[in-house]
Chain A
Amino acid sequence: MPGVEGYIYPNEVELQWSILIVLYPYITGLVAGAFILASLERVFNVKALKPTYRLALLTALAFLIIAPLPLQMHLGHPERSFEMYLTPHTESAMAMFGFVYLWYLMAVLVLEIWFDYRKELVLTWRASTGWTKRLYGALALWSDDISPEALAVDDKVGRIITVIGIPSAFLLHGYVGFIFGSIKANPWWSTPLMPVVFLFSAIVSGVAAVMLVYMALATIRKIPIDMKCVDTVAKYLLYAFLVDFSLELLDLIHRLYEADESFRALDFMVKTRLFTSQIVVQILLGTFLPILLLALVQFRRFSDATRRWIYSVSGVLTLIGIFAMRWNVVIGGQLFSKSFLGYTTYKLEFATREGALSAIIFMIAPLVILAVLVRIFPPWPAQEDARIQ
């Protein structure tokens, strides 16, 4: 059989989970990571991060809106997906995703954004006319009380939501890791480290994404990049990366040393079919290089322009590396037979339902949504907006 080496069970000919399922942990990871960056400012009072706070929330929202779509597209019967809410099987890790997702979207992200923007929404509502007035009135839920007392309540509620939001963001992505980590039939996935590794790689990717979005937006709007802010973001990115990398290294060392029955099959796979995506893209280009670049900035002095370049390059490499990590988990976990006696191949198609084109559209869509969100909810201070105009 073409693409098959050794023996695989007859039913393993078809690869079950495609690139769309690679996007699912990738996108939810960006959401969780962006949110955690936002909470650093809000809950832990890291003032330097202020310029990215709202942008991080909007980025999280833009990606969260798209997150379930690749899953939906992948289902054999998308029209039945609502059954997960109506008749969930409570023992199933996947069934609970719907609830965790809704909780996170509605109770955490949307509420936090609403409370944070309420004053601006009301002010814009009052100052505008026609359709804009209607839009902002509706967004403010027709409540125009922005007295200092009301705003103090907003702030308090917002803080409480963020505090609830942190464990929720951990839950959202740790739980995605659990979906894979709890499959005992698959030794590539089955490890209790999986949720933790997923979580930290999520933080890494989300922080890198917000850093890039912030720098890109500042460049587009022709305003100076707040270097103190970007330096701080990059520092947190480095810390998260070091934890993430240590965890992945721990997993690797554990597998190497334990060398259980699956080891030979997995080792062979990593050295052959996953070599490029795992060793070259994920580890060398996507982990070592950005860690090295980010660490260099901590030890040596560079000009602002050089640092911007370093951050841009390491941000892009990080996003590629984390995508490769998701790919290696999801696709890699299906390339070997559960008989440990053979291997199969994943053929990425282009213009099919689960092809590369769909994946590209799903990755561009959040950026389009973000562009719209940024117009409706300007994430920068009003005076900055006025100065530009």
Chain B
Amino acid sequence: MDQTRRAFLEKASTYIFLTGAASVAWEYVEARTPQLAPNYKDTDHWWGMIIDIEKCIGCGSCVRACKAENDVITDEDGCFRTWVERYQVDPLNAEHPTVASPNGGYDGFTALDQDGDGVKVFFVPKLCNHCVDSPCVQVCPVGATFDSPDGVVLVDKDRCLGCRYCVQACPYGCRYIDPRTHTADKCTLCYHRITKGLTTACCEVCPTGTRQLVDLKNPEDPVHEFLRTHKVHVLKPQMATGAKVYYNGLDGSVR
């Protein structure tokens, strides 16, 4: 790689500066007053995600990265902030797809036995849709689940009663009870990272660029161009939750 010492130093100093700035912001995030951070203004952002189904190879890196980054429990069933499903759809029987997500796709998928049997196969990564009108936020009896001003649905573990009403209310199965804290848990869109100017762990490791964190309030974000030029869909649109995870190439059989 052709890199001069000067270019390297310029780049490195930018990173060092950014890290310093981020650590300032993080102090405010931790104090639960991110809006007061001098270099991260939550009202300037509106976070979401784009998932390009055509690009997903079902490697499960996102699931592993999410669990590692967010200390999601791995030795118990049913604790996934993100997971990957494999759909096998017979075009003539699209209402009855065969779906699998062994261990949430954590270990990837084993190859299918048959090839070329007329069945289409694709992967669907899933995570919290960070809905604008979240049913989970609506039902929480104490407001432990809330919308951040930058469009992320978060859970305050110190307030959550563990009544599980939010788990029932989520149409997408994105929530679970953390057996260690007995409180509701779900994807935070790596809030601790995105408020520092980083992307989410799942987007960071995705080898094919299937998942992309997007800031819908940032006019420079390529998401606007993407949404203009692609036919995108959200999961279960009939639920009218205002989901902000947009899927490109989503098959009608996906639920």
Contact = CB atoms under 8 A, between A and B. Distances in A.
Interface in B62-112: 77-80, 83, 85, 96-101, 103-104
A339 B173 contact: yes
A40 B212 CA distance: 63
What is the interface of chain B mostly: helix, strand, loop, or mixed?
A: loop
A76 B182 contact: yes
Interface stretch (B21-29, B134-142, B191-199): B134-142
A88 interface: yes
Nearest to A16: B164
A351 interface: no
Contact of A77 (B79, B97, B183, B239): B183
A180 to B, nearest CB: 9
Interface of B: 77-80, 83, 85, 96-101, 103-104, 126, 135, 138-143, 159-165, 167-177, 181-183, 239, 255
Given A10-B101, A14-B78, A87-B142, A186 B159 contact: no
B162 A76 contact: yes
Instruction: Please name the 4 residue pairs, one residue from A and one from B, whose CB atoms are nearest each other, closest first.
Output: A76-B162, A9-B173, A76-B182, A13-B78
Given A76-B183, A94-B139, 8 more contacts: A7-B100, A77-B161, A77-B183, A81-B161, A87-B142, A88-B141, A88-B142, A185-B239
A11 B79 contact: yes
B126 to A, nearest CB: 8
28 contacts: A8-B173, A9-B126, A9-B172, A10-B78, A11-B79, A12-B173, A16-B164, A76-B160, A76-B162, A76-B163, A76-B177, A77-B161, A77-B183, A88-B141, A89-B140, A89-B142, A91-B138, A92-B141, A92-B165, A94-B139, A94-B163, A94-B165, A183-B168, A185-B135, A185-B168, A334-B168, A337-B173, A339-B173
Nearest to A1: B77
Given A10-B83, A14-B77, A76-B160, A340 B175 contact: no
Contact of B255 (A77, A88, A97, A341): A341
Given A14-B77, A77-B183, A92-B141, A7 B101 contact: yes
A184 B162 contact: no
A10 B80 contact: yes
- Most chain A CB within 10 A, of B99, B168, B173, B174, is at B168
B164 A93 contact: no
Interface residues of A, number: 40
Interface string A72-109: 00111100110110011101111101000000000000
A17 interface: yes
Contacts of A308: none
B141 A94 contact: yes
Contact of B168 (A9, A17, A76): A17
B255 A340 contact: yes
Contact of A76 (B103, B138, B161, B239): B161
B79 A185 contact: no
A338 interface: yes
A99 to B, nearest CB: 11
A331 to B, nearest CB: 12
Contact of A92 (B85, B139, B168, B175): B139
B113 to A, nearest CB: 18
Contact of A89 (B126, B143, B164, B168): B143
A17 B164 contact: yes
B160 A77 contact: yes
- Most chain A CB within 10 A, of B80, B104, B143, B177, is at B143
A334 B39 CA distance: 45
- Most chain B CB within 10 A, of A74, A87, A91, A339, is at A339
Contact of A11 (B78, B100, B138, B183): B78
A68 B249 CA distance: 48
A71 B173 CA distance: 23
B199 to A, nearest CB: 24
Contacts of A74: 163
B142 A83 contact: yes
A10 B83 CA distance: 8
Interface string A333-373: 01001111100000000000000000000000000000000
B142 A95 contact: yes
Contacts of B176: 11, 14
B169 A183 contact: yes
A42 B14 CA distance: 80
Contact of B159 (A9, A80, A337): A80
A345 to B, nearest CB: 14
A95 B101 contact: no
B174 A11 contact: yes
Given A76-B161, A76-B182, A89-B143, A186 B173 contact: no
Contacts of A12: 78, 173
Interface string A167-191: 0000000000001000111100000
A185 B139 CA distance: 12
Contact of B80 (A8, A11, A81): A11
Given A13-B77, A185-B171, A77 B140 contact: no
Contact of B161 (A9, A83, A184, A186): A83
Contacts of B162: 75-77
A12 B77 CA distance: 9
Interface string A286-324: 000000000000000000000000000000000000000
A89 B166 CA distance: 13
A10 B139 contact: no
A338 to B, nearest CB: 6
